[in-house]
């Protein structure tokens, strides 16, 4: 069994790593990582904008975004992917590559989920911080940027990382619209071997687990560093009086 | 001016005219008419739920009012104005909260220096030096690098006062600054407030510290059910309050 898996890896490592590249499209693990990184990198700022829009006092900003978030959260990702895959070319006549379709859908979908996390983080701070900022003359956006968001996002690191992890896992849905990612490559391998689906898909699971686990570890390091800095443990003098702070994003 | 002010300056620092505020049908402030002269220290006292905090929070527009006007330095705080102008006005009114509201993600010196840097555009090193001086003044120079969570309540409130002073406001508002403190920490905060008063700062304080009111205030406003029932010199107020509600309030305090 282990030897089977090692054999598969040694025979198909290039396909699993980069797909048909350089003879065809880039695929495999490389594409999964690129898709994940782009989704996360773009969904995160968009989620902050969504959250701010939902907290805005202007209905023109609040209502459409609230509607978008409700719909996006209430519909399965697969459904959204199929919609954009079939409807966008139908409506616009444009030939959108499946990678771009998947990326945009993931950004909107995860952006909506993440915006609720961000909004929750802001709401959990209570009104005192914003009042203090206003009383000192900060503008609303200035207060958000320098006072509210740094705290809200820090407090929400565990939930934000969870959403990032599910973004990575959701890239596998791209398989149904032929995005050449790691799942797609593994499926190709399986189709060639025919007799070893368990081994092939175990390799797939291990790789996804490793990616998500690494992300969680990075988050732990960041969270620990910020916690330590905020507790002021620079000289070691104050450590004794402080309870050890909990690292909440430990679980993948 | 309708009310006798012990100080003789002509222009009041803050002038409240016919200020009314209600939550739905429930009136919180009823026709408040009062003024604070430059350099004057006014203590607002009264039973809880009387509208003291609401009143002081309307002065920097943390609370809106339904009618009337509040004029500060010649400008109506509650007039329609672009947000920038309101921010500028707020930056010249220092406000100290009951719950301190320090920024927990910033060190003490950053708490004090950030608003001059971000709001006024003061150069960071200048703002930093100024913050250290202010911290020295409230007796916390050695805590500059600490974070709010490492400080006691009294220390946090002194940082909050330094943070407000960093914007160089001509007026300071205090909303029950010692009510959230352990008894042994009340003194250190009051001492800072006393020194401010001695330097001629215009101050409006909501507080239950009657000793402070007696020693430091130029005038007392006694509020109940959203009305200023009595505005008097402290010696008059404590010796012979005129309004029956004030008499009862003071009698209750002595028990």
**Which chain A residues have a beta carbon less than 8 Å from that of B93?**
135
Q: Tokens for B38?
A: 């430059």
Q: How far apart, in whole angstroms, are the C-alpha atoms of residue B174 and residue B186? A: 14
Interface of B with A in 21-60 (CB under 8 A): 60
In this complex, the residue of B90, B101, B102 whose CB is nearest that of residue A137 is B90
Say whether pTM exceeds 0.95.
no
State yes or no: pLDDT of B255 exceeds 80.
no
**End-to-end Cα separation, chain B, in angstroms:** 37
**Which chain B residues have a beta carbon less than 8 Å from that of A141?**
none
Residue percentage of chain B with pLDDT more than 70: 96
Q: How far apart, in whole angstroms, are the C-alpha atoms of residue A164 and residue A158? A: 10
State yes or no: pLDDT of A247 exceeds 70.
no
Q: How far apart, in whole angstroms, are the C-alpha atoms of residue B35 and residue B13? A: 7
At B175-212, the pLDDT tens digits run 999 999 999 999 999 999 999 999 999 999 999 999 99
Selection from B176, B169, B226, B220 nearest residue B41 by Cα: B220
At A39-51, the pLDDT tens digits run 999 999 999 999 9
Cβ neighbour number for residue B109 with a 10 Å cutoff: 23
Closest alpha carbon within chain B to A131: B62
Query: Which SS3 state, helix, strand or coil, does residue B27 take?
Result: strand
At B73-94, the pLDDT tens digits run 999 999 999 999 999 999 999 9
pLDDT class of A223 with cuts at 50, 70, 90:
confident
Quick one: which H or E segment has residue B2?
none
pLDDT class of A183 with cuts at 50, 70, 90:
very high
- Cα B45 to chain center, whole Å? 12
Average pLDDT over residues B124-149: 96
Q: How far apart, in whole angstroms, are the C-alpha atoms of residue A2 and residue A12? A: 15
Interface of A with B in 205-244 (CB under 8 A): 230-232, 234, 238, 241-242
- Judge whether B101 is closer than 8 Å to chain A, CB to CB: yes
Select the more confidently predicted residue: A168 or A222.
Answer: A168
Note whether B173 and B204 are within 8 A (CB): yes
Note whether A227 and A247 are within 8 A (CB): yes
Q: Which residue has the tokens 């608003």?
A: B115
Bridge partners of residue B16, in order along the sequence: B34, B70
Select the more confidently predicted residue: B123 or A244.
Answer: B123
At A77-94, the pLDDT tens digits run 999 999 999 998 999 888
- Judge whether B98 is closer than 8 Å to chain A, CB to CB: no
């Amino acid at each position: 069994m282990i030897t089977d898996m090692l054999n598969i890896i040694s025979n198909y490592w290039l396909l699993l790593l980069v797909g048909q590249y350089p003879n065809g499209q880039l695929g495999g693990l490389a594409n999964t990582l690129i898709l994940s990184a782009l989704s996360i990198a773009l969904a995160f700022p968009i989620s902050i904008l969504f959250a701010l829009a939902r907290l805005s006092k202007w209905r023109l900003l609040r209502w459409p975004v609230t509607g978008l978030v409700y719909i996006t959260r209430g519909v399965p990702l697969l459904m959204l992917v199929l919609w954009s895959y079939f409807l966008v070319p139908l409506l616009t006549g444009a030939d959108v590559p499946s990678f771009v379709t998947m990326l945009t859908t993931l950004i909107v979908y995860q952006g909506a989920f993440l915006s609720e996390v961000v909004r929750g983080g802001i709401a959990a701070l209570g009104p005192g911080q914003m009042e203090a900022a206003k009383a000192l003359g900060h503008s609303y956006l200035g207060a958000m940027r320098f006072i509210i968001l740094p705290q809200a996002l820090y407090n929400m690191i565990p939930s934000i990382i969870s959403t990032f992890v599910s973004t990575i896992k959701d890239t596998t849905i791209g398989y149904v619209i032929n995005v050449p990612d790691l799942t797609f490559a593994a499926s190709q391998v399986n189709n060639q071997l025919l007799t070893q689906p368990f081994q092939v898909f175990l390799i797939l699971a291990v790789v996804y687990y490793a990616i998500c686990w690494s992300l969680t570890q990075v988050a732990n390091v960041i969270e620990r560093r910020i916690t330590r800095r905020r507790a002021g443990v620079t000289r070691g003098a104050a450590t004794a009086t402080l309870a050890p702070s909990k690292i909440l994003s430990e679980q993948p | 001016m309708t009310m006798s002010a012990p100080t003789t300056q002509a222009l009041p620092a803050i002038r409240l005219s016919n200020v009314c505020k209600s939550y739905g049908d429930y009136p919180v402030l009823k026709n408040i008419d009062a003024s604070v002269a430059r350099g004057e220290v006014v203590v607002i006292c009264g039973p809880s739920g009387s509208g003291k905090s609401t009143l002081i929070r309307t002065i920097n527009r943390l609370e809106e009012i339904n009618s009337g006007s509040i004029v500060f330095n010649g400008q109506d705080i509650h007039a329609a104005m672009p947000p920038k102008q309101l921010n500028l006005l707020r930056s010249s009114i220092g406000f100290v909260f009951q719950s301190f509201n320090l920024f927990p993600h910033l060190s003490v010196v950053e708490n004090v220096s950030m608003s001059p840097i971000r709001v006024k555009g003061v150069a960071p090193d200048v703002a930093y030096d100024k913050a250290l001086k202010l911290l020295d003044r409230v007796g916390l120079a050695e805590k500059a690098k600490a974070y709010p969570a490492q400080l006691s309540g009294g220390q946090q409130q002194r940082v909050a006062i330094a943070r407000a002073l960093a914007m160089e406001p001509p007026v300071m508002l205090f909303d029950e600054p010692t009510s959230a403190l352990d008894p042994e920490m009340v003194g250190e905060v009051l001492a800072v407030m006393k020194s401010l008063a001695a330097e001629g700062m215009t101050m409006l304080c909501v507080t239950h510290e009657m000793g402070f009111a007696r020693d430091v205030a130029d005038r007392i406003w006694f509020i109940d059910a959203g009305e200023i029932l009595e505005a008097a010199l402290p010696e008059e107020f404590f010796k012979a309050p005129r309004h029956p509600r004030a008499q009862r309030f003071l009698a209750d305090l002595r028990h």
